[in-house]
């Protein structure tokens, strides 16, 4: 069964195509890594799928229905640098934002919702920081607050935009732990990723993207030198069986 079907998704920035005719199916319960060089449109792809940016063309279906009817099934971890962490609020409050649908339009968070949010913080090892002003958290801790917020959404499908970028070992472990748990619960996870060395450990499916989809499929089948060279334009070499990005990465 397909959790997500993307058909002919096209995004245009300033008359330049950022994504051209992207189509693929994501099976339910899969862990997909979205890979590609800088400027390949990886973040653009998930934002377009989530209807956060204007699309020129294309359809996104979630469990067989249009995305707009299924938004409540979606959880999202944006890139950390996309928000202003000087914003006057604390970690618990950010996590409670993940319970917005459950809390209701005019209502305040009840005790159950607050204890739910606290459990989510505990799962990522951040309960001790619940009342901490978010600007006083380290980058990794801020990332874990975002993870806890996504966890609080209790979604069926999770989108994460470069969650591993610039985080400490503890946070990296927390992310991997969560992804495994989500997979065990039959949830579907899509992750924008750029560290090629960890791809085979983390993901069972891979989308290779460079403005157009180069390949989508099981990691074993798709993640090989030939496909990577096509995606990254021949700037790849394999060292001890692990692909290493020679140029063009971060």
Rule CB under 8 A: which residues touch other proteins? 14, 47, 50, 52, 71-72, 74, 76, 78, 82-84, 87-90, 93-94, 97-98, 100-101, 103, 105-106, 108, 133, 149, 153
**Integer Cα distance of 67 and 75 in angstroms:** 13
The CB-of-73 to other proteins minimum distance in angstroms stands at 11
- Beta-carbon neighbour count of residue 119 at 10 Å? 14
The CB-of-92 to other proteins minimum distance in angstroms stands at 12
The CB-of-63 to other proteins minimum distance in angstroms stands at 17
Pick 116 or 232: Cβ nearer other proteins: 116
The CB-of-89 to other proteins minimum distance in angstroms stands at 6
Beta carbons within 8 Å of 43's beta carbon, 6+ residues apart: 79, 161, 162, 192
The CB-of-237 to other proteins minimum distance in angstroms stands at 37
**Exposed, middle or buried, 148 (CB in 10 Å: 0-12/13-18/19+)?**
buried
DSSP secondary structure code for residue 64 in this structure: T
**Integer Cα distance of 52 and 78 in angstroms:** 11
Pick 134 or 178: Cβ nearer other proteins: 134
Pick 88 or 250: Cβ nearer other proteins: 88
Pick 52 or 244: Cβ nearer other proteins: 52
56: nearest Cα among 115, 15, 102: 15
Pick 104 or 233: Cβ nearer other proteins: 104
């Amino acid at each position: 069964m397909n959790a997500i079907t993307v058909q002919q998704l096209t995004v245009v920035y300033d008359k330049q195509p950022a994504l051209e005719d992207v189509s693929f199916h994501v099976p339910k319960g899969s862990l997909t890594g979205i890979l590609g060089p800088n400027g390949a449109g990886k973040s653009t792809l998930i934002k377009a799928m989530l209807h956060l940016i204007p699309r020129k063309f294309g359809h996104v279906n979630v469990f067989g229905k249009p995305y707009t009817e299924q938004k409540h099934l979606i959880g999202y971890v944006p890139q950390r640098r996309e928000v202003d962490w000087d914003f006057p609020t604390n970690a618990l409050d950010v996590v409670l934002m993940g319970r917005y649908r459950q809390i209701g339009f005019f209502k305040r968070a009840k005790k159950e919702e607050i204890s739910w949010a606290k459990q989510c913080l505990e799962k990522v090892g951040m309960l001790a920081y619940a009342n901490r002003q978010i600007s006083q958290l380290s980058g990794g801790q801020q990332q874990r607050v975002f993870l806890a917020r996504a966890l609080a959404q209790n979604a069926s499908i999770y989108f994460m935009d470069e969650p591993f970028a610039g985080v400490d070992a503890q946070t990296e472990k927390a992310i991997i732990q969560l992804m495994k748990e989500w997979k065990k619960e039959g949830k579907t996870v899509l992750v924008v990723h750029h560290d090629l060395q960890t791809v085979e450990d983390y993901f069972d499916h891979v989308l290779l993207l460079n403005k157009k989809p180069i390949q989508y499929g099981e990691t074993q089948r798709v993640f090989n030198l030939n496909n990577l060279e096509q995606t990254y334009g021949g700037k790849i070499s394999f060292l001890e069986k692990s692909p290493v990005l020679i140029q063009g990465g971060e």
